Structures are given as C-alpha cells and as structure tokens.
Structure 1
Amino acid sequence: MQDLATRRVDGEFAELICADDQWLRDTFDALIAASYGPPPARPGPPAPPRTPPSWPSGRPLHTWCQKRTPDGVPLVKPPRIRRGRAPPSPT
C-alpha cells in the first residue's frame, strides 16, 4: 500500500511529464525508434496487370477448329462431352 507522500510525488511527476506535449511526443518517438527501428519503407509501384497467355499464331486450340467455311463456321462439330452414368437409385 502506498502512503500519501508517495502518491503525491507520483502525481507531481506525472504532471511534470505531461506538461510539455512536444517533449512528450519527441521522447515517445525516440523510445519507439530505439526499440523497433525506423518505420518500414513504403511499398513500390503496383505490379502491372496480369494478362492471359496468347496462343501461338497458326496453331488452333483444338483440331476441330481448323477447317471452317468462308463465313467462319466450323466444318466439324465440336466433340460432345461424355458424362458418366449416375449410380442406381435405391428402391
């Protein structure tokens, strides 16, 4: 338990420290800089936007895309996607 004189001295000390706002800020900043070092540098410029890869010229994505009519319609239909059978239903 603190006695009355100790509380009074602590209060006066706190008032003395808080009386000068600029000194308090400078001291706080110095303590933080000594403890943690300088603040990190700002990040650099943002990365350029990513673009999807382009296909090599003259090479179609699928073989069924190769032959087309003069108006651009494929001569061969694209392959159908085959799906697996569903499991039997419980009866």
Structure 2
Amino acid sequence: MLEPTGGDEWFGMPGVRPLSGVDELLHVGDAVFHRGRFAPEHGSCPPLLEQMEWAGAADVARDEATVERLVALHRDHADRVEIVAAAAR
C-alpha cells in the first residue's frame, strides 16, 4: 500500500506499507493499466490504455520512473513477487 507521507522501501518501491500475510503481492493501483507495461511476456499495452495512463498523469517523469521500477521488479523478482495491475488483460 502506497503511503504518500512515508512508509518503507520494498524491492526498490518507495512509500510501501506492508500488509500482514501478503508481503509478496504488489497491487500497483492505477500506476499502470495493463501488466504488459511491466511484463512484456503478457503482450504490449493496448495503445488506448497507454494514452489513458499518460493523459491522467500529474507528473509524467515520476510516473515513468515508477514504470521503470516495476519493470525492474518484475525482471529481477518475478519468482518472489506477484504484481497485480488495474486491468488484468
């Protein structure tokens, strides 16, 4: 759970508050709308969804950095961490 006022760093993701019993699950909320943005084996993100992500971005640089961290997390720790996106397909 993102804690805008602090929280811990977890696998390189800042502002995370661990939840009991689900320490290997990361729900990225609306950071990305399609898992293909961080897990290319699931196909590419449909262009309209990607446009919606950027249209709603308050801070594009911050959002790009978040996607880069999600890509690295999936690449380096997919065997330990399940990442769940807003849209499953």
TM-score normalised by structure 2 residue count: 0.23
More strand by share: 2
Which of the two has higher C-alpha Rg? 1
